[in-house]
């Protein structure tokens, strides 16, 4: 199996998992749009396409951004799917180490810890991961939480 195949499979499965959440939240936002706005745009002669892009989308943009940040954050922490599916895909040598070709962020440290028994290396690696996740948390806090997109 090609390494990109399993990467694609992870993406599809993550999308499948995120779908209900996105559907519920965005669907709720769309049904929250007042009917008068839609009717006014019809009266003003907007077609289906321009009604979608110029009226509905701007109104739900904040929700879409909120969902995008949350979903990308969840996928940044993807661990279970690659681990369960094929344990990171076929092995290859990278930078002098034998690693799985699809070691995602968290899985890489886990493999260094469980396969190579390099516990100190894994701990140091996870410290960096915590810093990366802190950047995500900062973005989430700044743009989602404080703006009241909850």
Q: Contact residues for other proteins (CB under 8 A)?
A: 16, 19-20, 48, 73-74, 76-77, 79-80, 83-84, 105-106, 109-110, 113, 119, 122-123, 126, 129-130, 133, 136-137, 140-141, 145, 150
User: Whats the size of the chain, residue-wise?
Assistant: 150
Q: Which is nearer to other proteins, 94 or 119 (CB)?
A: 119
Q: Which is nearer to other proteins, 76 or 93 (CB)?
A: 76
- Tell the smallest beta-carbon distance from residue 89 to other proteins (Å): 15
- Tell the smallest beta-carbon distance from residue 33 to other proteins (Å): 17
**H helix and E strand count, the chain:** 7, 2
- Tell the smallest beta-carbon distance from residue 140 to other proteins (Å): 6
Q: Which is nearer to other proteins, 64 or 93 (CB)?
A: 64
Task: List the beta bridge partners of residue 126.
Answer: none
Distance (Å, rounded) from C-alpha 11 to C-alpha 114? 24
Distance (Å, rounded) from C-alpha 139 to C-alpha 141? 5
- Tell the smallest beta-carbon distance from residue 99 to other proteins (Å): 17
Q: Which is nearer to other proteins, 3 or 149 (CB)?
A: 149
DSSP 95: T
Q: Which is nearer to other proteins, 30 or 74 (CB)?
A: 74
- Tell the smallest beta-carbon distance from residue 122 to other proteins (Å): 5
Buried b / exposed e across 28-47, counting CB within 10 Å, b at 16+? ebeeeeeeeeeeebeeeebe
> How crowded is residue 82: how many other Cβ atoms within 10 Å of its Cβ?
24
């Amino acid at each position: 199996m090609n390494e990109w195949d399993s990467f694609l499979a992870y993406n599809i499965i993550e999308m499948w998992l995120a779908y209900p959440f996105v559907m519920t939240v965005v669907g709720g936002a769309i049904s929250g749009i007042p009917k008068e706005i839609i009717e006014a745009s019809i009266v003003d002669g907007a077609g289906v396409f321009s009604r979608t892009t110029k009226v509905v989308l701007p109104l739900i943009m904040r929700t879409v951004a909120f969902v995008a940040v949350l979903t990308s954050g969840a996928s940044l922490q993807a661990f279970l799917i690659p681990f369960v599916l094929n344990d990171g895909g076929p092995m290859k040598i990278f930078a002098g180490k034998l690693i799985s070709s699809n070691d995602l962020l968290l899985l890489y440290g886990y493999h260094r810890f469980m396969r190579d028994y390099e516990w100190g290396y894994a701990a140091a690696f996870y410290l960096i991961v915590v810093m990366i996740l802190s950047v995500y948390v900062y973005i989430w806090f700044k743009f989602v939480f404080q703006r009241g997109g909850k």
